[in-house]
Amino acid sequence: MTNTTTKKKPNLKKLLSKMDAMSSDAIDREVVKHLKNLIETSNLDITKAKLDEILKGSKNIDISGIDETIQPYIRHFLLMLKKASKASKKSKPTK
Contact 44, 9 (CB under 8 A): yes
> Phi, psi at residue 24, to the nearest 5°?
-120, -10
Q: How confident is the model at residue 12 (pLDDT cuts 50, 70, 90)?
A: very high
35-93: per-residue pLDDT in tens? 999 999 999 999 999 999 999 987 788 999 999 999 999 999 999 999 988 888 877 66
Domain residue spans of the chain: 8-88
C-alpha closest to that of 52 among 10, 8, 5: 10
